[in-house]
């Protein structure tokens, strides 16, 4: 088990916020799309969406459509939704089940669930044609702690290297065993980076989040990841609250084997570039942030619980969902106000305080990834 020590985050004196064009300019988002979103590992779903061999769903972002599936042996795979014959998109339904093969609706080229071309009508007389030369184009895919990640890069940084700081850090929470109990989407009129930066600090909590501040004091806890592409740490749950819920009561059984200290802590991490993970003693909720344009984003969030909590008379996720829906809407509103402000011609980068060291660190990781 990782030991979480009370650490002091290094504050870089003189750190300042980003210039306004980083939040408003379409050309910056175009560069981010190529440099970050089409090159990095991105969360796409929970593994439970492809629980059985043949199950699939479509991941459609940044101009691409990817079929994520379990092949007949149970191996997780991802393929571009592009037939090798004449490029037709093969799957239209957002999710479903392949009985044993994937067939293009245009000319019936047929592929096994491991991507091999197994049927190509009328190609037997084509000189030099060999089915083994035309498998589906594969996309890199990785399962970690019950989450599925996909990269649109032909050669991404190995997942184990990109996520080295957290690979084993969260094992005690049994994230791979948890099940989804709620999913919501929010349309936020703010640049995607403002949402990530807002998540990375709680200096704003006493002003914006009275409900949150009663449960999780903004100066409690400590950060254990304070530089790089994974950032965050824990906050203390104040007594008599048992968890971060609307009534302060636990909404499920413990998600993992937690010691006495960790049963009174909530952990909050960002995974660069666009995932946020919130781990509570009795449930988890996480977010992915997807740019629509330079000044608008879609935030997808799901709540997870231990399977022993689901469908019982004793436990309900309602308190956790209500609590975070309130807090989320407060965050989205202030992010939208921030967006309006940074779009002003008089906006200039302002200084970070020592209590904003994590968003400052996130900015450094962002600038490094962008080659700035």
Question: 83-110 pLDDT, tens per residue?
Answer: 999 999 999 999 999 999 999 999 999 9
pLDDT of residue 350: 95
Question: 147-158 pLDDT, tens per residue?
Answer: 999 999 999 999
41-155 is classed CATH 2.102.10.10: yes
Does the pLDDT at position 50 exceed 80? Answer: yes
CA distances from 264 to 18, 172, 217, 244, 320 (A): 35, 15, 12, 10, 15
d(CA 228, CA 84): 39
Q: Please state whether 3 falls in left (phi above 0), alpha (psi between -120 and 50) or beta.
A: beta
Does the pLDDT at position 370 exceed 80? Answer: yes
More confident residue, 221 or 209: 209
pLDDT, average across residues 4-10: 43
d(CA 349, CA 259): 43
pLDDT of residue 1: 29
This prediction's pTM: 0.93
pLDDT of residue 186: 98
Looking at the DSSP bridge assignments, the partners of residue 316 are: none
CATH number of 21-39+175-369: 3.90.380.10
Does the pLDDT at position 2 exceed 50? Answer: no
Three-state SS for the chain is CCCCCCCCCCCCCCCECCCCHHHHCHHHHHHHHHHHHCCCEEEEEEHHHHCCCCEEEEEEECCEEEEEEECCCCCEEEEECCCCCCCCCCCCCCEEECCCEEECCCCCCEEECCCCEEECCCCCCCCCCCHHHCCCCECCEEEECCEEEEECCCCCCCHHHHCHHHCCCCHHHCHHHCEEEEEEEEEECCCHHHHHHHHCCCCCHHHHCHHHHHHCCCCCCEEEECCCCEEEEEEECCCCCCCCCCCCCCCCCCCCCCCCCHHHEEEEEEECCCEEEEECCCCEEEEEEEEEECCEEEEEEEEEECHHHCCCCCCCCHHHHHHHHHHHHHHHHHHHHHHHHHCCCCCCCCECCHHHHHHHHHHHHHHHHCCC
Residue 306, C-beta contacts closer than 8 angstroms, at least 6 positions apart = 174, 177, 178, 179, 252, 253, 254, 255, 282
Does the pLDDT at position 290 exceed 70? Answer: yes
Q: How far apart are the first and last CA of the chain?
A: 36
Q: Beta strand pairing status for 101-103 and 95-97?
A: unpaired
Q: How many CB atoms lie within 10 A of CB 160?
A: 10
Our CA angle for 29, 364, 160, nearest 5°, is 90
Does the pLDDT at position 303 exceed 60? Answer: yes
Question: 177-189 pLDDT, tens per residue?
Answer: 999 999 999 999 9
pLDDT band at 5 (very low <50, low <70, confident <90, very high): very low
Task: Assess contact for 131 and 86: CB atoms under 8 A.
Answer: no
What is the chain's mean pLDDT, rounded? Answer: 94
pLDDT of residue 184: 97
**In the chain, ranges of CATH 2.102.10.10 domains:** 41-155
pLDDT of residue 14: 73
């Amino acid at each position: 088990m990782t030991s979480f020590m009370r650490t002091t985050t290094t504050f870089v004196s003189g750190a300042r916020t980003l210039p306004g064009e980083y939040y408003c300019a379409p050309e910056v988002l175009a560069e981010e799309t190529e440099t970050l979103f089409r090159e990095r590992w991105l969360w796409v779903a929970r593994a439970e969406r492809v629980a059985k061999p043949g199950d699939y769903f479509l991941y459609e972002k940044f101009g691409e459509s990817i079929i994520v599936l379990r092949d007949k042996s149970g191996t997780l795979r991802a393929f571009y939704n592009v037939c090798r014959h004449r490029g037709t998109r093969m799957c239209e339904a957002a999710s479903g089940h392949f009985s044993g093969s994937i067939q293009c609706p245009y000319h019936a080229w047929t592929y096994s669930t491991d991507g091999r071309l197994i049927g190509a009508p009328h190609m037997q007389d084509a000189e030099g044609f060999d089915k083994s030369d035309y498998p589906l184009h594969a996309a890199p895919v990785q399962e970690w702690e019950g989450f599925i990640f996909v990269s649109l890069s032909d050669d991404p940084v190995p997942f184990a290297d990109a996520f080295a700081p957290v690979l084993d850090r969260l094992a005690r929470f049994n994230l791979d065993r948890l099940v989804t109990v709620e999913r919501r989407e929010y349309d936020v009129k703010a640049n995607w980076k403002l949402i990530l930066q807002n998540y990375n600090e709680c200096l704003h909590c006493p002003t914006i989040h009275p409900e949150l501040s009663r449960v999780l004091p903004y100066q409690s806890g400590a950060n254990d990841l304070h530089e790089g592409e994974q950032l965050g740490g824990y906050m203390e749950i104040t007594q008599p609250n048992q968890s971060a819920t609307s009534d302060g009561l636990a909404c499920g059984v413990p998600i993992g084997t937690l010691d006495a200290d960790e049963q009174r802590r909530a952990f909050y991490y960002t995974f660069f570039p666009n995932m946020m993970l919130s781990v509570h003693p009795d449930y988890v909720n996480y977010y992915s942030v997807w740019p629509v344009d330079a000044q608008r984003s879609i935030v997808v969030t799901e709540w997870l619980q231990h399977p022993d909590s689901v469908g019982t008379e004793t436990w309900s996720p309602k308190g956790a969902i209500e609590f975070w829906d309130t807090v989320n809407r407060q965050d989205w509103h202030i992010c939208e106000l921030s967006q309006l402000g940074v779009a002003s011609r008089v906006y200039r980068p302002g200084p970070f305080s020592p209590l904003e060291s994590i968003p400052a660190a996130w900015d450094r990781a962002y600038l490094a990834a962008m080659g700035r």
